[in-house]
Amino acid sequence: MHEHLTILGIALVVLGYGFFSRLLNRFNISGPMVFTAIGVLLSPLVLGGKPVNPNAQTVQIVAEVALITILFSDAAFINLKHLLSHENWRIPVRLLFVSLPISIILAYYTAMLFFPNEEKLYLLLLALFLAPTDAALGKAVVSDERIPERVRNAINVESGLNDGIVFPILLSVLVLISGSGDGSGWFGYVVKQIFIGAIAGGIIGYLGAKITQKAIDRGYMEHQYRNLTPIALAIFAYYMAEFVHGNGYISAFFTGLLYGNIAPSLRHSVEEFAESEGEFLIMISFLIYGLVFVPDMIPYLNMSVILYALISLTLIRMIPIVIGMGKLNVDFPTRMFISWFGPRGIASILYIIVAVHKLGSIEGHEEIFATASLTILLSIILHGISAQPLAKIFADRQKSKTDDI
């Protein structure tokens, strides 16, 4: 009965949010906030019954497809020529290759202070869970054209790429913890997974883009299938890489990278998919988060968990951003604005699900997973509420500066 109520609840919330999404946005109520709240309402916290196992097959399938879709879509939107030549990429490059490593190191050493009895690899796992950002939680910011393009571009590109950068490191830590690459062989195992995944993904992305473009040019493909081809290609790349002992997620990322750069005109189809079917998968992932992980974290909440979550969203994020931008021509208020809009969302949720699946059990380390879950919950609420008001304040400030000149 509980399963039927859950399915009914999902259908109703999709309908309800769809009908009133624009109205809710006026009150700073975002999709992730709504779907997470519905997940909590459908959970044993409210309806009673047994907790939903995060290792359940349904949870794993949704998480896999959602992460594959996100990695593929994010990579497909990367314009490599633009990345190498355009001045607007100076900020995101600093964010990704200077600020991101600093934030992971700072998060790790801060975790050592708050959780001194925890194993070091799990502390690193916590830092990696919370490293990627999610622009969707601050959608009002990246879609507000009053905000300078380079600021919106920086936030968008950072959130689009940092999950693909962090994932191989996460994979390495999970291999060390699980012992599947025991001893000196772990490094070779990880390199093999990444290398084979990247090669498989690159080949599939290249061939997929060429075949799709030819099919379109010769009029072989119906328009509606242009939006379905990218996700089918991403899933195909995932399973082909796994079949040849590579990493499927890395393969999905490189498939998207080649697909979007070999045939840039195909990016429009990826964008249409990401804004419809992809958005649905992401919202369902937030619902699963509310259904599964919020109830599980409550017994382990304590002062260390709460304080670390708050510091993770503020100092651990802000200090590396301010430092990482170095001598770039970016004023302090802009640095603080960019640093605040580094919300933890879908990538962090999916990383946790992948970790639970790989490790099999989190017994004895529940506090670490509770900390990650609480940080995500606070981010969903705080960034969702603050996105529109802060975007308006920042845009007005930028306009005032321009008017003064």
Tens digit of each residue's pLDDT (9 = 90 or more) over 125-151: 999 999 998 877 777 777 777 888 788
Task: Give the pLDDT of residue 404.
Answer: 46
Residue 403: inside a domain: no
Q: Domain total for the chain?
A: 1
Residue 287, Cβ density class (10 Å: 0-12 exposed, 13-18 middle, ≥19 buried): buried
Residue 95: inside a domain: yes
Residue 11: inside a domain: yes
What are the pLDDT digits (tens) for 22-60? 787 777 788 889 889 988 988 888 877 777 777 667 777
pLDDT at 99 over 80: yes
What are the pLDDT digits (tens) for 152-181? 878 877 887 788 788 888 988 998 888 765
Task: Give the pLDDT of residue 401.
Answer: 64
Average pLDDT, stretch 197-213?
92
What are the pLDDT digits (tens) for 342-378? 888 888 998 998 898 888 888 889 999 999 999 999 9
Q: Which residue has the tokens 């991403």?
A: 234
Tell me the longest C-alpha to C-alpha distance in the chain.
Answer: 65
Cα gap 139→175, rounded to integer Å: 34
Total count of residues recorded for the chain:
405
Residue 13: inside a domain: yes
DSSP state of 253: H
CATH code where residue 252 lies: 1.20.1530.20
Q: Roughly what angle, to the nearest 10 degrees, separates helices 277-288 and 31-42?
A: 40
Q: How many CA atoms lie within 13 A of 372 on its CB side?
A: 31
How high is the mean pLDDT of the chain? 84
Q: What is the DSSP string of 252-317?
A: HHHHHHHHHHHSGGGHHHHHHHHHTHHHHHHHHHHHHIIIIIHHHHGGG--HHHHHHHHHHHTHHH
**Cα–Cα nearest to 131, from 380, 382, 359, 345:** 345
How is residue 183 written in tokens? 């001893």
Residue 283: inside a domain: yes
Residue 405: inside a domain: no
> Residue 85's pLDDT band (boundaries 50, 70, 90)?
low
Asked if 291 and 2 count as a contact pair (C-beta separation under 8 A), the reply is: no
**Cα–Cα nearest to 34, from 62, 53, 10:** 10
- pTM for the whole thing? 0.85
pLDDT at 79 over 60: yes
What are the pLDDT digits (tens) for 206-252? 999 999 999 988 888 887 777 788 888 999 999 999 899 888 888 98
Task: Tell me the residue range of the domain where 35 lies.
Answer: 2-398
Average pLDDT, stretch 192-212?
91
Element at 228 (helix H, strand E): none
pLDDT at 92 over 50: yes
Residue 233: inside a domain: yes
What are the pLDDT digits (tens) for 312-336? 999 999 999 999 988 888 888 889 9
Amino acid in position 312: S
Phi, psi angles (nearest 5°) of residue 307: -65, -40
How is residue 145 written in tokens? 């054209």
